[in-house]
Amino acid sequence: MITEEAILGVLRKVNDPELHRDLVSLGMVKEIKVEGGSVAVTVELTTPACPLREQIESETKAAIKTLPGVGEVTVNLTASVRKPPAGREPIPGVKHILAVGSGKGGVGKSTVTVNLAVALAEAGASVGLLDSDIYGPSIPIMMGVHRQPEMVGKRMIPPVSHGVKLMSLGFLLPDDTSPVVWRGPMVGKAVSQMLMEVDWGELDYILADLPPGTGDASLTLAQAIPLSGAVIVMTPQEVAVQIATKTLNMFRTLKVPILGIIENMSYLLCPHCEQSVELFGHGGGRKASQRLEVPFLGEIPLDPELRRGGDVGRPILIEKPDSPVAAIFRQVAGNLAGRVSVEALIG
């Protein structure tokens, strides 16, 4: 006779590939049903964007089929993003705030952040996007939202676009060309207000698009809010890698976990010959991750569709969902979500 205890016993030998612990001790096995020789198991992943869901499903099935008398095996995969350890919750209702930074401007950090947010939302996570670049807010244009947030009492209700809740100082300016002429303390205060005075609701992730460098907005976010981690976006050339490393070391100094490095503009896929053209070199991000001993989350190629999508407020996952670049963003988003799960586990 097939018992629940026997099934749990074999599933203790199946590890989550990223967390390196078995499914049972992680509390991922939520339900077991046995009817004759048929077994149905529900496994709760630690993120809807899990990049290794197929591996977990196949290894779970294989383990259960080793039991005598087992015929058909069904594995139902659900997902729930794990909260950070007690005392590290950022703001009420929000499980994780992820800072996305760079050492210099022009590396496509906002484009990467927007598409990662859309990819996570597409996978089934609840996602917010905070535009922390006070002097050059670009998220309203990239996400196609040009209206002020509604007010309920003293709290702003974030607009929603492509399944992502948004907040940006750009929503509050008279027009897209109005400058923000503020000194440092005002920048820090604005970032805090956009986090704390907004009704974000229940969210798995907020991605905070930081301005380049190590200025007031980045420091305010890192010092005032318990961040689950930081992502560094860099281009391949050595000078860009060196500058981005300063931002990475700033987060390390502030005890913020480094979730990984993303290399943007990694190569151009020629539309005529389909050969990769390395306009800015290649591999700088991966080499930096090895040298600095942090995860490498992936390479994003140059693609004219990325630029066009940003200009019209339709990220490439919306405009060209079946494109190779959209698939790459989904993979990178999954890698990022996996790193968040690891950090939530190790605390």
pLDDT (tens digit per residue) in 50-73: 989 999 999 999 999 999 999 999
pLDDT (tens digit per residue) in 11-25: 999 999 999 999 999
Distance, in Å, from the CA atom of 270 to the CA atom of 22, rounded to the nearest integer, reads 44
β-bridge pairing 229-234 and 94-101:
parallel
Packing angle of the helix pair 284-292, 238-253 (nearest 10 deg): 30
Residue 262 binned pLDDT confidence (cut-offs 50, 70, 90): very high
Residue 295 has pLDDT above 90, yes or no: yes
Residue 185 has pLDDT above 70, yes or no: no
Residue 141: enclosing H or E segment and its boundaries? helix 139-143
Higher per-residue pLDDT: 344 or 60: 60
Pick the CATH number of 4-79 from 3.40.80.10, 3.30.300.130, 3.40.190.80, 2.30.30.280: 3.30.300.130
CA distances for 294 relative to 76, 103, 146, 207, 332, angstroms:
33, 16, 37, 19, 15
DSSP conformation class of 318: H
Residue 1 binned pLDDT confidence (cut-offs 50, 70, 90): confident
pLDDT (tens digit per residue) in 71-109: 999 999 999 998 887 766 778 899 999 999 887 778 889
pLDDT (tens digit per residue) in 201-260: 999 999 999 887 767 777 777 777 888 999 999 998 877 788 888 888 889 998 899 999
Nearest partner of 194 among 128, 250, 98, 144, judged by Cα = 128
Determine the pLDDT at residue 178: 58
Distance, in Å, from the CA atom of 21 to the CA atom of 24, rounded to the nearest integer, reads 9
Tokens of 99: 């800072």
Determine the pLDDT at residue 181: 55
Residue 183 binned pLDDT confidence (cut-offs 50, 70, 90): low
Lowest mean pLDDT among 113-117, 150-154, 175-179: 175-179
**Dihedral, CA of residue 141, residue 129, residue 202 and residue 318, to nearest 10:** 60
* Cβ count near 104 (within 10 Å): 17
Coil, helix or strand at residue 84: coil
The number of CA neighbours under 13 Å toward the Cβ of 71 is 6
Distance, in Å, from the CA atom of 285 to the CA atom of 256, rounded to the nearest integer, reads 20
DSSP conformation class of 304: H
Beta strands in the chain (DSSP E): 29-35, 38-45, 73-79, 94-101, 127-131, 150-152, 155-157, 160-161, 164-168, 203-209, 229-234, 258-269, 276-277, 296-302
Residue 179 has pLDDT above 70, yes or no: no
Higher per-residue pLDDT: 161 or 176: 161
Residue 122 binned pLDDT confidence (cut-offs 50, 70, 90): very high
Residue 125 has pLDDT above 90, yes or no: yes
Q: What angle do CA 76, 54, 40 make, to 5 degrees?
A: 25
Pick the CATH number of 94-346 from 3.30.110.40, 3.40.50.300, 2.70.98.10, 3.40.190.80: 3.40.50.300
Determine the pLDDT at residue 192: 80
Nearest partner of 335 among 302, 307, 295, judged by Cα = 295
Distance of CA 72 to the CA centre of its chain: 36
Residue 333 binned pLDDT confidence (cut-offs 50, 70, 90): very high
Mean pLDDT across 261-269: 89
Domain residue extents for the chain:
4-79, 94-346
Nearest partner of 324 among 296, 300, 293, judged by Cα = 300
Distance of CA 95 to the CA centre of its chain: 12
